[in-house]
Amino acid sequence: MSSSFGKIFRLTTFGESHGKAIGGIIDGVPANFEINVEEVQAELDKRKPGQSSIVTQRKESDTVEFLSGIFDGKTTGAPIGFIIPNENQKSKDYDHLKDVYRPSHADFTYAKKYGNRDYRGGGRSSARETASRVVGGAIAKQLLASKGIDITAYVDQVGSVKLSGEKDVNEIENNIVRCPNAEVAKKMIALIQKTKKSGDTIGGSIVCEINHVPPGLGEPVFDKLHAELGKAMLSINAVKGFEYGSGFDCITMNGSEHNDIFNEDGSTKTNHSGGIQGGISNGMPITMRIAFKPVATIMMEQETINSQDELVKLQGKGRHDPCVVPRAVVIVEAMAAMVALDMMMRDSAVDI
Amino acid sequence: MSSSFGKIFRLTTFGESHGKAIGGIIDGVPANFEINVEEVQAELDKRKPGQSSIVTQRKESDTVEFLSGIFDGKTTGAPIGFIIPNENQKSKDYDHLKDVYRPSHADFTYAKKYGNRDYRGGGRSSARETASRVVGGAIAKQLLASKGIDITAYVDQVGSVKLSGEKDVNEIENNIVRCPNAEVAKKMIALIQKTKKSGDTIGGSIVCEINHVPPGLGEPVFDKLHAELGKAMLSINAVKGFEYGSGFDCITMNGSEHNDIFNEDGSTKTNHSGGIQGGISNGMPITMRIAFKPVATIMMEQETINSQDELVKLQGKGRHDPCVVPRAVVIVEAMAAMVALDMMMRDSAVDI
Amino acid sequence: MSSSFGKIFRLTTFGESHGKAIGGIIDGVPANFEINVEEVQAELDKRKPGQSSIVTQRKESDTVEFLSGIFDGKTTGAPIGFIIPNENQKSKDYDHLKDVYRPSHADFTYAKKYGNRDYRGGGRSSARETASRVVGGAIAKQLLASKGIDITAYVDQVGSVKLSGEKDVNEIENNIVRCPNAEVAKKMIALIQKTKKSGDTIGGSIVCEINHVPPGLGEPVFDKLHAELGKAMLSINAVKGFEYGSGFDCITMNGSEHNDIFNEDGSTKTNHSGGIQGGISNGMPITMRIAFKPVATIMMEQETINSQDELVKLQGKGRHDPCVVPRAVVIVEAMAAMVALDMMMRDSAVDI
Amino acid sequence: MSSSFGKIFRLTTFGESHGKAIGGIIDGVPANFEINVEEVQAELDKRKPGQSSIVTQRKESDTVEFLSGIFDGKTTGAPIGFIIPNENQKSKDYDHLKDVYRPSHADFTYAKKYGNRDYRGGGRSSARETASRVVGGAIAKQLLASKGIDITAYVDQVGSVKLSGEKDVNEIENNIVRCPNAEVAKKMIALIQKTKKSGDTIGGSIVCEINHVPPGLGEPVFDKLHAELGKAMLSINAVKGFEYGSGFDCITMNGSEHNDIFNEDGSTKTNHSGGIQGGISNGMPITMRIAFKPVATIMMEQETINSQDELVKLQGKGRHDPCVVPRAVVIVEAMAAMVALDMMMRDSAVDI
């Protein structure tokens, strides 16, 4: 019941980190759209493990294979089925976890919910599932681009190192932490490397912007544009908070400073609204910020319990990310793209 | 397409602030449950205008009338239809807005989306719609209470006045701002009164806790418990941000300090997880915080544009809230209740 | 969970035959469409009791009152809420049923499902609920008409009196049984009157045609156009069967006679396909036939059981239809209209 | 939007007859259920081509491969992803169809809807998609069996040869036409063989019974049990009609003969209701009958049009079924199983 996302442009996923493959089905794709498969793979490459020194050193090619819905390079209108084979399954890495609940992981909650546990890499709770989201998002992005809409996300903060100074979106893919300022990027990378060395992990945040959305996108009441974006982002592993526009800073503001005053062309002088008013886009850039917690698996010894409710010592093993945000940038973009496209489709539905 | 909330326990609403009535239909209600109608009305009274000196002075009794689904005081299992008549419609208060887009309101975006505009009180974008949510939430709360689950929300911050010192939940309904500390409440009330006097408005935040949820509630992947809560809260008028557990503070934390270490009984020493791991409850209190922007309607003159894209001056009129959080507390609880109950139902669905 | 119909053009209903009112919410209505409210009421009048000598003599005006979503005669894009007050509630008529399960009614099954029973007129199982469908259908019809699509249903058979001879759609509303042939209508009416006199009831069938649907409407696989139409019709009280095009007659046919051979313009020489191939419209008239069982309430004494599983005698009382098809014609049209419109909206959704 | 079936027990499928594979994702599976994979494959074998002399001679092993959701032979509660590789793709068989619309096929309607066409075996309109339904249905059947519910379907009629005489369900799998009477089976087989020889095809019907469903299953109003069953069956390729209980025969019946009179134990003396009253099961066997048209592909020359709207001659080629009902029996059972299980889950959802 929880493996589908979107109402019209709809991604359904399956797969655990240590099964044969993960994959998904994308329904609601318009016919006759030329899919750039290389670009889809390039997006996956931004998420894949082993891409740099500051991410997990697990090696996995994450190659997507399309099984249906594309004929002669174009969509047919039928659902697009795809798989991403699992290659580098060191299940042995997880043998020591068979009976132990890792602190702040989903081990305990899955065991309570399902009465069983796939301890190999977290099973369905593994962030590996997000690779399927990147495939869906990559196709959504291509469809949005054909309508002039683009999406950019970047790392805004790692620990206490926050983006400041100039912001150059062209810089984002020039550094391994995906920060739009080269100087700040260096500091972020240094902090991650230092954290990794100490066997610890660190939190961070990502900013995402959706640009060139015309006014009028979104639904009033329950399915407000930012409510759908919020759900999408909060569904990504390790996310703890979501804000758009002024976000939590609005708490200490007065209406007279928070209100976005119009220019004559309908744009606004400020963008505290984050491009959304009453749940509907106003034509300004849609801006949001997402908080990611430090990865729960640390290379330090921790006290925890096992399935017999006994206190045990746990020493982290395996290959894990010291900070998730560099690899999460493309996932954030994917979720934003799927929401934007799905909302466009809901919007055009009533336009018979 | 956007007027329904929940998958199994499902509220569908209708109504504008200046039509004959607002109302809704609650589907998915178990049969033979004794509804306390007075308690439902008491919840509505916590949201109603005119209840104190720090909220809008509009007078409206907000009396709910049930039309179906309840027979001899008990639910029948059929959908519960209800209406709340609109009583105090000073549509004339809005005549000056007929052609003007108020800054940071939904006037502009609705006009662009629908090509028309119900300028009388904001039409469907009016927060009056949330009264229907309070009815749904009040019934959800009673069902949850029968399972031992309770929900408490309170005002955590108004402008720069933040809750500190002792927190006494019994104090919440003892002061008009709904803060669980009497001393802090006084400061919050003073700030709202001062702000109101100056014709301005101010932001604030609400904390909500769901208590006594057993481990195992929630869905993995897209419908994580906190993702559904986030969407629910972000769908409330004026909300700009949502966080749970450590929230945005997690950004600067290391894994070694953020991880919640287990006690032998499965509880945890800290609750940075906010009662949720991997999208599923772990038995600890579920905690979240929601940011509300300052009300956009201020009693000061502002520059804005009209539907002919001409710059005009706008002077706020009518009866508006200087700060929404005192009245929003019960709305936050309602949304939390509907999410928790719906997730319980989704959970029990597969248990054939 | 079961009170909503349609995915985008979506009707949600509430109400029992003996509560204060029945009603519904129509979501997914395009903005700025001029609703002809009189026409909606005229459709309701075709369903209402007491309209002729061959239907139930219960008197109820069935007046619809719109509460939202329409402003200055036009839709706003917001959901349309409406109620139809219950007027003529002779609950006493049902006192003798308080404890008795009527044969072939929903009394027994509702009692088993819900553990309770609203014996007054059948509660939620009453066909009175279909009045809300007629409201939704009437609005759908007006929207379809603006696209050149029209829907016509008529009584095709009553007992063994089957429509034959010439078929004149203009004749349908000229006779109280709603048969498109005046001569056959007389025989049908005579049969119903004779049946009524004997205290018995009789079955019948309705044919429905949707005309001027362009090729391409419908979804492949699970939501085939005829599958959605079938579900819609089978959800009407008393329906026992649904067929489209050649229907059950196809069983004895060979492919060489069943295949619809194309004309050069894409139309077909025959229409065994009923206007649908592979679940998608082909531009020919969409034709279907629906079987209605004889009303279960008869004015004869029957043996039955009560809630203590004791055999008791039951004598039918109250005011009931001897044959449902004359009043069901407009319900069939309403369901067909809602399906066609919803499918059009689903179709246009992907057309961003 | 149309590739998912079921609300809680939910099958989503992908795949064309001539892509790399077809497959699906089954969501809403309870955890810790032991899946008999051999039994799933055995069900697929009942649908597979080449199984006897009266079905298509296409050879395809139709081997299902599970990719997720099953660990150590038991379900984990995660979605079950599966593929069925396409093996015997004689795409050349379809080269002559590249530009031609086959009469009473979905070629014309798909071309109109999607503006393109995958002519190789019908693309998404191919009945090959139903193999994925059989996988979903086989798992649903096993879950139902654990609750004591079983489903039996059989061929009831082929052309004018109708089942009569004794009905022995043990006989069904003893003959290649799947008729529960050996003598009638012989006549049906003879008719199919004669029809095949002449290059023609023939229609047929299947009866399906769901047994041991307790009273109370189903939803009132729109999602009546028989409405969901009807949609499920009508969504199968080649189906033209659905009836339950007395079905179309009810038209000529009086209420006094149609009413099912209760026995003291709540069972009924007759079963015109087909086990369903008011959309909800009454504990009697749930009975339905489904009409299948003759296969549209015949080995005779037909006149038709091409995509330039020119009249052309078409000679059927390839390997096709002369009558679909023998292979459709297991598909009917699969759809019935998925509906029954999904309705059980919807029912248990509100039982918190």
**pLDDT tens per residue, range D310-343:** 999 998 877 889 999 999 999 999 999 999 999 9
**Strongest mean pLDDT among A316-320, B295-299, C152-156:** C152-156
Q: Are A311 and B263 in contact (CB under 8 A)?
A: no
**pLDDT tens per residue, range A178-223:** 999 999 999 999 999 999 999 999 999 999 999 999 999 999 999 9
* pLDDT value of position B58: 84
* pLDDT value of position A90: 61
- Those residues whose C-beta lies under 8 Å from the C-beta of residue B233, and which sit 6 or more positions away, are B208, B239, B242, B288, B290, B332, B335, B336
| Cα→Cα distances C55→C18, C51, C152, C178, D194, Å | 19, 7, 21, 12, 51
Lowest mean pLDDT among C244-258, D88-102, D135-149: D88-102
Q: Are C282 and C275 in contact (CB under 8 A)?
A: yes
> CATH no. for residue C308?
3.60.150.10
Mean pLDDT, range A165-174, rounded to an integer: 97
Q: What percent of chain C has pLDDT over 90?
A: 85
> Cα(A48)–Cα(A60) distance, rounded to whole angstroms?
7
In three-state secondary structure terms, B12 is strand
| CB-based contact C104 D240, cutoff 8 Å | no
> Cα(A274)–Cα(A246) distance, rounded to whole angstroms?
7
Q: Does B23 touch chain C (CB under 8 A)?
A: yes
Interface test with B, best of A221, A289, A321, A335 (most B CBs within 10 A): A221
* pLDDT value of position B128: 92
- Those residues whose C-beta lies under 8 Å from the C-beta of residue C92, and which sit 6 or more positions away, are none
Q: How many domains does chain D have?
A: 1
* pLDDT value of position C60: 85
Q: Are A212 and A148 in contact (CB under 8 A)?
A: yes
Token pair, residue C131, equals: 């009045």
Q: Does C71 touch chain B (CB under 8 A)?
A: yes
In a domain, A90, yes or no: yes
- Chain A residues 112-141 with a CB less than 8 Å from chain B: 112-113, 124-125, 129
Confidence of residue B93 (pLDDT cuts 50, 70, 90): low
**pLDDT tens per residue, range D147-196:** 999 999 999 999 999 999 999 999 999 999 999 999 999 999 999 999 99
What's the mean pLDDT when you consider all of chain A? 94
Strand segments, DSSP code E, in chain B are 4-5, 10-14, 21-27, 65-66, 70-71, 74-75, 80-85, 100-101, 150-158, 161-162, 204-211, 239-244, 276-277, 280-281, 286-292, 301-306, 311-315
Q: Which chain A residue shows the shortest CA-CA distance from D111?
A: A76
> Cα(D74)–Cα(D35) distance, rounded to whole angstroms?
6
Structural domain boundaries enclosing B175: 4-346
∠C153-C156-C158 over CA atoms, to 5°? 130
Backbone angles phi, psi at C150, to 5 degrees: -130, 160
Q: Are A243 and A182 in contact (CB under 8 A)?
A: no
Residue C121 pLDDT > 70: no
* pLDDT value of position A121: 63
Residue D262's nearest CA partner among C200, C313, C199 is: C313
Mean pLDDT, range C45-66, rounded to an integer: 92
Mean pLDDT, range B30-52, rounded to an integer: 96
Q: Which chain C residue shows the shortest CA-CA distance from D283?
A: C109
Confidence of residue C182 (pLDDT cuts 50, 70, 90): very high
Residue C91 pLDDT > 70: no
Residue C236 pLDDT > 80: yes
Residues of D in contact with B214 (CB under 8 A): none
> Cα(D270)–Cα(D261) distance, rounded to whole angstroms?
7
* Minimum-distance CB partner of D78 among A4, A16, A65: A16
Task: Write the DSSP string, D266-301.
Answer: S-BS--TTTTEETTEE-SSPEEEEEEEPPPS--SSE
* pLDDT value of position C271: 98
Mean pLDDT, range C138-161, rounded to an integer: 98
- Those residues whose C-beta lies under 8 Å from the C-beta of residue B205, and which sit 6 or more positions away, are A248, A251, B155, B156, B157, B289, B290, B291, B292, B325
| CB-based contact B28 D344, cutoff 8 Å | no
Residue D89 pLDDT > 70: no
* Minimum-distance CB partner of B351 among D78, D346, D348: D348
In three-state secondary structure terms, B256 is helix
Lowest mean pLDDT among B130-144, B175-189, C75-89: C75-89
Chains that touch A (3 or more CB pairs under 8 A): B, C, D
Q: What residue type is D91 in one-letter code?
A: S
* DSSP code of residue B191: H
| CB-based contact C8 A349, cutoff 8 Å | yes
* pLDDT value of position C89: 64
Strand segments, DSSP code E, in A258-345 are 276-277, 280-281, 286-292, 301-306, 311-315
Backbone angles phi, psi at C316, to 5 degrees: -60, 140
**pLDDT tens per residue, range C282-327:** 999 999 999 999 999 999 999 999 988 899 999 887 788 999 999 9
**Strongest mean pLDDT among B79-93, B135-149, D102-116:** B135-149
Residues of D in contact with C309 (CB under 8 A): 264-266
Q: What residue type is B345 in one-letter code?
A: M
Q: Does D109 touch chain A (CB under 8 A)?
A: no
Residue A99 pLDDT > 70: yes
Residues of A in contact with D81 (CB under 8 A): 14-15, 21-23
Most distant CA pair in chain A, distance: 67
Mean pLDDT, range B224-242, rounded to an integer: 98
In a domain, B150, yes or no: yes
Helices (H) and strands (E) in chain B, counts: 7, 17
In a domain, C352, yes or no: no
Task: Encode D292-331: b = buried (16+ Cβ within 10 Å), e = exposed.
Answer: bbbbbbbbeebebbeeeeeeeebebebebbbbbbbbbbbb
**pLDDT tens per residue, range D231-253:** 999 999 999 999 999 999 999 99
Mean pLDDT, range A108-127, rounded to an integer: 84
> Cα(B299)–Cα(B321) distance, rounded to whole angstroms?
11
Mean pLDDT, range C28-57, rounded to an integer: 95
- Those residues whose C-beta lies under 8 Å from the C-beta of residue D170, and which sit 6 or more positions away, are none
**pLDDT tens per residue, range B18-37:** 789 999 999 999 999 999 99
* DSSP code of residue D214: P
- Chain A residues 266-305 with a CB less than 8 Å from chain B: 266, 268, 272-274, 276-283, 291-298, 300, 302-305
Residue B1 pLDDT > 90: no
Residue B272's nearest CA partner among B280, B260, B255, B263 is: B260
Q: Are A235 and B223 in contact (CB under 8 A)?
A: yes
Determine whether C212 is exposed, middle or buried from the number of CB atoms within 10 Å of its CB (0-12, 13-18, 19+). Answer: middle
What's the mean pLDDT when you consider all of chain C? 94
**pLDDT tens per residue, range D251-293:** 999 999 999 999 999 999 999 999 999 999 999 999 999 999 9
> Cα(B43)–Cα(B131) distance, rounded to whole angstroms?
9
Lowest mean pLDDT among A281-285, B139-143, C27-31, D91-95: D91-95
Tokens 């983006």, residue located: A163
Confidence of residue D88 (pLDDT cuts 50, 70, 90): low
List the end-to-end C-alpha distance of chain D, in Å, as a whole number: 30
Mean pLDDT, range D45-73, rounded to an integer: 92
* pLDDT value of position C1: 54
In three-state secondary structure terms, B15 is coil
Residue C51 pLDDT > 60: yes
In this structure, the number of other CB atoms found within 10 A of the CB of residue D72 comes to: 8
Q: Which chain B residue shows the shortest CA-CA distance from A222?
A: B235
Q: Which chain B residue shows the shortest CA-CA distance from D31?
A: B350
| Cα→Cα distances C187→A269, C158, C159, C161, C179, Å | 76, 9, 10, 7, 10
Q: Are D312 and D306 in contact (CB under 8 A)?
A: yes
Helical axes A37-47 vs A130-145, angle rounded to 10°: 140
* pLDDT value of position C98: 79
Residues of B in contact with A115 (CB under 8 A): none
Token pair, residue D188, equals: 């049906």
∠A15-A21-A22 over CA atoms, to 5°? 40
Beta bridge partners of C291: C205, C241
Q: Does A344 touch chain C (CB under 8 A)?
A: yes
In a domain, D351, yes or no: no
Q: Does A214 touch chain C (CB under 8 A)?
A: no
Mean pLDDT, range D72-95, rounded to an integer: 84
Residue B318 pLDDT > 80: no
Backbone angles phi, psi at B163, to 5 degrees: -55, 130
Task: Write the DSSP string, C105-116.
Answer: SSHHHHHHHHS-
Lowest mean pLDDT among A52-56, B33-37, C247-251: A52-56
* pLDDT value of position A301: 93
Q: Are B174 and B182 in contact (CB under 8 A)?
A: yes
In a domain, A351, yes or no: no
Confidence of residue B240 (pLDDT cuts 50, 70, 90): very high
Q: Are D116 and A78 in contact (CB under 8 A)?
A: no
* pLDDT value of position B153: 98
Q: Are A203 and A291 in contact (CB under 8 A)?
A: yes
Tokens 């003598």, residue located: D183
**pLDDT tens per residue, range A16-50:** 987 899 999 999 999 999 999 999 999 999 999 99
> Cα(A166)–Cα(A168) distance, rounded to whole angstroms?
6
In this structure, the number of other CB atoms found within 10 A of the CB of residue B266 comes to: 16
**pLDDT tens per residue, range A254-309:** 999 999 999 999 999 999 999 999 999 999 999 999 999 999 999 999 999 998 88
